[in-house]
A and B are shown apart, each in its own frame.
Chain A
Amino acid sequence: MRERLRNAPLLRPVIEALSIAKERAERGYGSVPNTLRLLLLAALLIAVPFYENPLGGGVVFDDRWLSVFRLVGLYIMLGIGLNIVVGYAGLLDLGYVAFFATGAYAYALLASPASPAIDFPIEDVPWLFWAMLPIALVVGAFTGVLLGLPVLPLRGDYLAIVTLGFGEIIRLFLINKDDWTGGSQGLYGIRAPPLPDVPLLNITELKSTALTEWYLFIVVGVFLVAFCAGRLRDSRIGRAWEAIREDEDVASAMGVDIVKYKLLAFAMGAAIGSFGGTIFASFQGSAIPEDFNLLVSINVVAIVVIGGMGSTPGVVVGALILIGIPDFLRFKEASDLLGLLDPIVPFADTHNWAEDLRNNRFIVFGALLVIVMVLRPVGILPSSRRKLEFAAPVDEAAI
């Protein structure tokens, strides 16, 4: 009986929470050091633009690095957003780019001088970007519910294919509905939001203040989004998602409102995706349909799955690998680093490995997905909860 209780999927979270609490009590720490650790991490990350190279030559991470970090940070945000849908609620969404595009175009429609929607020069309103961020959240959540409604009864692979369809339809819509969206040219000329000129940030000529501020903004954003996602996961809502993920029918029988919580998951994920889209359109200065193709969705799903579903550290690792490394390969440092391989690899005298890798990054990306899945189907850093699940022998494997 005891054994059966332990294995009941719905009780598992409770039992696990209890055992974690017990373990913590035994080791003599509560949740405070964890918070401290996070604060320390935040401080380290915020200080990144200011690291001085001890060997001289200015800062360690110059503009190029900061723009890579900015993109990685953006994808971490997207990953955390999709993680709510895929990792927490177990709904495989392959059309996440739809929400990303929603946010980007929502902002671009207002801020681009090419926008057909607005005929007064709203791009001069300095606080537009900041006002747009909460609006993007709302618009995104709304789109999430809208696209979530028709797919409520679908599960697993079917949900994946239909959402993939949504992602493609959105792109076709953006290209073809050119009297709204500027067609394949997109909406361009979005001005960067005027940022306050903080003298403190202007440390060397090597770095533009704007990039530093962008970087800091993204770091804060990532922490904010991660915090919200974490709180959601540990709330009643998060437990409902988990129940749905483990077994929808049982969850429904236990009184979990499937429709409400599924839509909530879609809405939350979409809100964060749309938030990211607005940021993307802003630092890109444009919104072009080609920026919102299927590969974006697949990238984000891959970040979540390779990192380890349901795990925020996993998302960070996934984004660093899948977004950070391909961008890093553009740097001279990457060529130098990979050049170290030349003596070991034959015929490599005139070869630029970094460039080769970069040119073939999609081939490598595809192969990497297969390799990681075959070697580690649970991802690199699975959440502690998931680790327990997959360790348990399951015949009807959970999603």
Chain B
Amino acid sequence: MAAALLVALFVIVSVIDDGKGWTFWFEQLRNGLTTGSIYALIALGYTMVYGVLRMINFAHGEVFMIGAFAGWVTLTEVFGGDGMATALIAPAIIVAMLVAAIASASAVLVIERIAYRPLRHAPRLAPLISAIGVSIFLQHLFLRLTDGLSKQYPRIFPQGPGESIDIYITEIKYIELFLIGSSIAMMLTLYLFVQRTRVGTSMRAVAEDQEVAALMGINVDRIILMTFLIGAALAGVAGVMYGLWVYFIRGTMGFLPGIKAFTAAVLGGIGNVPGAMVGGFLIGLAESVGREQLNTLLNPALTWALGWAGADGLGLGNEWKDVVAFVVLILVLLFRPTGIFGEVVGKRA
């Protein structure tokens, strides 16, 4: 399914290719897949929590941000940052990811206990506002701790010449290979965990019907907490990956990836684990490939529509890539609220 969609997208792209050539599109594709793998990891947290609680964890983007900062501290303070010895790079990344996962999970442990659990039976808006509160609190706490500045991840992957490896059809950077590969590995593990283990089965039971699950002897509170923790750990790892990929992190960095990952979760069908993974990759691709095409496709139409105002279309620059996710979200919710794989959402409230 996913592969088919990717191929379809790729075919569409190549059909409307306006002379930019294959190298360009392969670059967009790699970009999209790499960003998408990060979105997919974040999206899993949204989708799993939504599955068991029917609640959107608005502070999930900040959990992701905490992971990025935890990883940054580990890489720079413990492993020496930019001047890291080559032999240390692999263990450093693994340790940083573990630390990030633990930091994010502990953060969500506290958040869930303080801000969400007391509101589980409150009117529906209350947990939402509370989550927004947590989100603002954490954003500005970290902005405060960093004096409002961005922090830079060490550039430990090869840069410039020798940064890529030839895989016959195209060249791919080591970091891209690493990010895509490790996120796919984590997602497969998670999928097996949810499908095969006892805890995973309990999670699916709680998602299906909390009361019946409780009657079957499942400790619902514990399972909900587990779900939060796993989602947070994945988001934390995603934070480190984001840092390694984009370099700059700051207190407010969680907002946009959070929204996009949420869109990915809805696109894949919220509550559905494989859906979130596919959704993540698709959003990543839509951003990198879609924006390029949007210009070519939309501009004539917009120029025509806005012609009376003397405008020349919207001229979508790079900053418009952030809008793509919102547009996709609105379109999905309007035309296929079930997402690609999921159940009907959007109307439930």
Contact = CB atoms under 8 A, between A and B. Distances in A.
A66 interface: no
A100 to B, nearest CB: 18
A153 B347 contact: yes
A153 B346 contact: yes
Given A165-B330, A366-B135, A397-B122, A156 B319 contact: no
A36 interface: no
**B133, B137, B346 pick with most chain A CB within 10 angstroms:** B133
B100 interface: no
Contacts of A390: 123
Interface string A157-182: 11111101110110010011101100
Interface residues of A, number: 50
A154 interface: yes
Contacts of A365: 133, 136-137
Given A165-B329, A169-B326, A176-B319, A155 B349 contact: yes
B259 A165 contact: yes
Interface string B271-285: 000000000000000
B217 interface: no
Contact of B133 (A158, A168, A309, A368): A368
Contact of B125 (A180, A305, A359): A305
Interface residues on B, range: 35 or more
B348 interface: yes
Contact of A366 (B127, B137, B259, B319): B137
B136 A305 contact: no
Nearest to A306: B129
Interface string B94-126: 000000000000000000001100110111111
B320 A158 contact: no
Contacts of B125: 86, 92, 305, 309, 399
B173 interface: no
A157 B129 CA distance: 11
A378 B125 CA distance: 9
Contacts of A368: 133
B301 interface: no
A373 B140 contact: no
**B122, B125, B259, B322 pick with most chain A CB within 10 angstroms:** B125
A398 B123 contact: yes
B322 to A, nearest CB: 7
A169 B132 CA distance: 19
**B115, B123, B329, B330 pick with most chain A CB within 10 angstroms:** B123
Contact of B129 (A150, A151, A179, A301): A301
B260 to A, nearest CB: 10
Given A168-B322, A373-B119, A377-B119, A399 B124 contact: yes
A373 B262 CA distance: 24
Given A92-B125, A176-B317, A399-B125, A155 B347 contact: yes
Contact of B144 (A150, A160, A302, A360): A360
Interface of B: 55-56, 114-115, 118-119, 121-130, 132-141, 144, 255, 259, 262, 266, 311, 314, 317, 319-320, 322-323, 325-326, 329-330, 333-334, 337, 345-349
Interface of A: 86, 92, 150-151, 153-162, 164-166, 168-169, 172, 175-177, 179-180, 294-295, 298, 301-302, 305, 309, 359-360, 362-363, 365-370, 373-374, 377-378, 390, 397-399
